[in-house]
């Protein structure tokens, strides 16, 4: 455990000093395995008494960061909900990421980017390059043009001390039509194995039982799919971002049962379940603490 709250803040707010996986492992040990999604849906903005515009977006986002920064291992802004406001929305996202960095909480830009060649390199430059206004501590990626198409982001993340979360096994019904194909040699299994191979570039972390910086996105509500497809997430040696806790139906006990031996690497995400407790700082903090404590008890 870090010696003080300030020590935690300093340790987490310096991309490039340590690999993302090491910083995330420290954050999870210090604050618990919770990621709070920042999802400014129009309905939530209305519930908070905010307008569905850039000003409402900024008030919502900065309030969440202020409330949860000292309680959660990470925050995860949903990029699409900023993009829908055009350039003004993306400017709010830049300020939200900067606020998270200033507050010493890790950020995951939920952008789900994926492309090839120079286009993928440009996405990597936007989300992972030191000095970029959109640079987050990590970004979600889609590997469905081939895992190796993500190479520019994988390499730049390693160089800059940042991380990536690669979509592997999502809980939406449509995902099965791609991710489950192949049975014992499923697409999802190949993605997981590729991520595990990539994490070998972080030997110092792995020698101490830590985490590599290439994580996977695996839905919290996938049930027995890991067993059905023969996925060994423990062998990935990277963080598992598990959306679906709370409003989407997954409980801490469900996560423990679903992920088994890989549970210590699981960063569970709750968005609406916590955000519904706003707009007050006290309400958001109480919901965050309750959710985090449930995960620790599991």
Query: pLDDT-derived band of residue 273, with 50, 70 and 90 as boundaries?
Result: very high
Question: What is the dihedral sign for C-alpha 1, 239, 40, 128?
Answer: positive
Question: What CATH number should be reported for the domain holding residue 147?
Answer: 3.20.20.70
pLDDT for the residue 163:
98
Name which of 23-32, 35-44, 202-211, 219-228 the model is least confident about: 202-211
Decide if 112 is catalytic. yes
pLDDT for the residue 171:
87
Q: Which residues of 217-251 are buried (b: 16+ CB within 10 A; e: fewer)?
A: bbbbbbeebbeebebebeebbbbbbbbbbbebebe
pLDDT above 90 (res 53): yes
Query: pLDDT-derived band of residue 246, with 50, 70 and 90 as boundaries?
Result: confident
Place of tokens 């469900």: 254
Peptide bond into 9 cis (omega under 30): no
**What's the total number of domains in the chain?**
1
**pLDDT, tens digit (0-9, with 9 covering 90-100), for 79-111:** 999 999 999 999 999 999 999 999 999 999 999
Domain with 36 in it = 5-297
| Residues 6+ away with beta carbon under 8 Å from 39 | 78, 81, 271, 272, 275
* Segments in 4-85 forming alpha helices (H): 5-12, 20-31, 42-47, 54-68, 80-83
pTM listed for this prediction: 0.93
Catalytic residue among 112, 151, 201, 272: 112
Closest to 44 in 3D by CA, of 29, 23, 59, 66 = 59
């Amino acid at each position: 455990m870090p010696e003080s709250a300030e020590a935690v803040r300093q340790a987490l707010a310096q991309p490039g000093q340590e690999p993302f996986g090491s910083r995330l492992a420290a954050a999870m040990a210090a604050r618990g395995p919770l990621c709070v999604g920042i999802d400014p849906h129009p309905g939530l903005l209305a519930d908070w008494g905010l307008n569905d515009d850039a000003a409402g977006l900024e008030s919502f986002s900065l309030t969440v960061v202020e409330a949860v920064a000292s309680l959660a291992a990470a925050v995860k802004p949903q990029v699409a909900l900023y993009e829908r406001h055009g350039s003004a929305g993306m400017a709010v996202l830049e300020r939200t990421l900067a606020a998270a960095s200033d507050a010493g909480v890790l950020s995951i830009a939920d952008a789900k980017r994926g492309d090839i060649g120079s286009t993928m390199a440009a996405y990597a430059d936007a989300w992972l390059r030191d000095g970029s206004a959109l640079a987050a501590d990590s970004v979600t990626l889609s590997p469905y043009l081939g895992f190796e198409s993500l190479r520019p982001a994988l390499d730049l993340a390693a160089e800059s001390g940042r991380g990536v979360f690669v979509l592997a096994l999502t809980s939406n019904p449509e995902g099965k039509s791609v991710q489950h194909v192949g049975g014992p040699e499923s697409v999802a299994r190949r993605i997981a194995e590729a991520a595990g191979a990539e994490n070998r570039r972080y030997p110092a972390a792995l020698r101490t039982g830590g985490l590599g910086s290439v994580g996977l996105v695996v839905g919290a509500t996938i049930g027995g799919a890991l067993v059905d497809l023969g996925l060994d997430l423990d062998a990935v040696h990277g963080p598992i971002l598990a959306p679906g806790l709370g409003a989407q139906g997954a409980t801490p006990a469900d996560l423990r049962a679903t992920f088994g031996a890989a549970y210590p690497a699981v960063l569970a995400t709750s968005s609406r379940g916590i955000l519904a407790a706003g707009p007050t700082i006290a309400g958001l903090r109480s919901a965050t603490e309750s959710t985090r404590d449930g995960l620790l008890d599991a």
